[in-house]
């Protein structure tokens, strides 16, 4: 009998074990960029994190779980006879259409030795019931790599998006930009997210302040970043987050961009973002947009190879 419940802090070890079971090989990336096989215990916290994020070590997983349980998100586990064999994480997000009030299924993982036992299906059924009780409009998956898995469980693909690369440029637009000091996610409730919405708006907000989740790992705290509250002539308000890019093909001065805005993206806001990036000395902005919005930036944004498919299911 499979039972699903809210995860607790003491589940950190079991959740880490689930994610570690899905890693076929542990490696260290040398200064020259080569990969050297190593056992798990020989890797630093950052090197473990490089294999899949916060779930790769008990230390980082516990910090992450604590933040979720404090109100950031909703962690779940599925167990059989008291043994935790699968997990999932959810974020409740309030966005304008087409997403609306929804539960974002951010993570779902089943231990490698227990695949095909119905654990994923049990988690999805529990999540859909949660969505109904919370009066959400839909359950969403913003990075549906396992599309067949979701489609078999009555999810449908609704949107797609792709990476974009934007060149900063001085523009003739009036705006004010100041450092963002308010960390509350309430200020972006109901806002659009024209840039950087790899996951739900609420989950992306949690990335802004790595000192809250990086568990003291220096490599995650050192990258250059900027947190900006912007007001553009005409009353358009936006919040920008830029973080130093770390992909292999990136160049010095490349920055990842996330943007929340009170109203849909306009030419003025786009011009203000490019001007701000130019004056900040950035080489290039790397971000993500929904395919339906690409016409808003036209030829000014170069399309990257990276793409995502988005899925959703009703809660009734």
* Structure confidence by residue, pLDDT tens digits, 247-284: 777 889 999 999 999 999 999 999 999 999 999 999 99
Share of the chain above pLDDT 70, in %: 99
Q: How far is CA 169 from the centre of its chain?
A: 27
pLDDT at 222: 81
From the list 271, 98, 274, the residue with the least C-alpha distance to 201 is 98
- What average pLDDT does the segment 216-228 reach? 89
Site of tokens 């509250």: 229
144, pLDDT greater than 70: no
- Output the pTM of the full model: 0.93
From the list 61, 54, 57, 51, the residue with the least C-alpha distance to 22 is 51
pLDDT at 250: 82
> pLDDT, tens digit, for every residue of 159-188?
999 999 999 999 999 999 999 999 999 999
pLDDT at 213: 85
What burial class does residue 116 get, using C-beta atoms within 10 Å of its C-beta: 0-12 exposed, 13-18 middle, 19+ buried?
exposed
Q: How confident is the model at residue 30 (pLDDT cuts 50, 70, 90)?
A: confident
Q: Are 86 and 120 in contact (CB under 8 A)?
A: yes
> pLDDT, tens digit, for every residue of 71-110?
999 999 999 999 999 999 999 999 999 999 999 999 999 9
pLDDT at 235: 87
From the list 154, 109, 202, the residue with the least C-alpha distance to 312 is 154
Supply the DSSP symbol for 198: S
Share of the chain above pLDDT 90, in %: 84
From the list 88, 120, 110, 115, the residue with the least C-alpha distance to 17 is 110
pLDDT at 32: 75
- What average pLDDT does the segment 236-257 reach? 91
Q: What is the mean pLDDT of the chain?
A: 94
pLDDT at 35: 87
Q: How far is CA 147 from CA 10, 155, 158, in A?
A: 32, 9, 12
């Amino acid at each position: 009998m499979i039972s699903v419940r809210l995860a607790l802090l003491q589940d950190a070890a079991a959740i880490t074990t689930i994610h570690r079971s899905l890693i076929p090989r542990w490696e260290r990336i040398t200064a020259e960029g080569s990969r050297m096989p190593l056992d798990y215990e020989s890797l630093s916290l950052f090197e473990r994190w490089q294999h899949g994020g916060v779930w790769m070590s008990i230390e980082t997983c516990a910090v992450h779980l604590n933040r979720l349980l404090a109100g950031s998100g909703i962690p779940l586990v599925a167990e059989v006879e008291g043994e935790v064999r699968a997990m999932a994480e959810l974020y409740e997000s309030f966005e304008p259409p087409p997403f609306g009030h929804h539960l974002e299924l951010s993570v779902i993982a089943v231990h490698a030795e227990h695949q095909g036992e119905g654990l994923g299906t049990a988690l999805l059924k529990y999540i859909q019931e949660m969505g109904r009780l919370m009066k959400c409009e839909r359950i969403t998956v913003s990075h549906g790599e396992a599309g067949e898995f979701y489609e078999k469980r009555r999810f449908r693909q609704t949107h797609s998006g792709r990476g974009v690369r934007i060149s900063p440029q001085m523009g003739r637009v009036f705006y004010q930009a100041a450092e963002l000091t308010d960390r509350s996610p309430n200020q972006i409730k109901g806002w659009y997210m024209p840039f950087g919405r790899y996951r739900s708006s609420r989950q992306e907000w949690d990335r802004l302040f790595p000192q809250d989740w990086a568990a003291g790992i220096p490599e995650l705290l050192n990258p250059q970043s900027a947190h900006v509250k912007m007001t553009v002539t005409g009353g358009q308000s936006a919040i920008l987050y830029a973080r130093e890019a770390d992909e292999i093909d990136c160049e010095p001065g490349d920055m990842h961009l996330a943007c929340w805005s009170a109203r849909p993206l306009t030419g003025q806001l786009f011009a203000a973002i490019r001007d701000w990036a130019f004056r900040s000395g950035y080489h290039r902005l790397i971000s993500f947009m929904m395919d339906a919005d690409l016409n808003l930036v036209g030829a000014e944004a170069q399309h990257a190879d990276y793409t995502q498919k988005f899925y959703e299911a009703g809660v009734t």
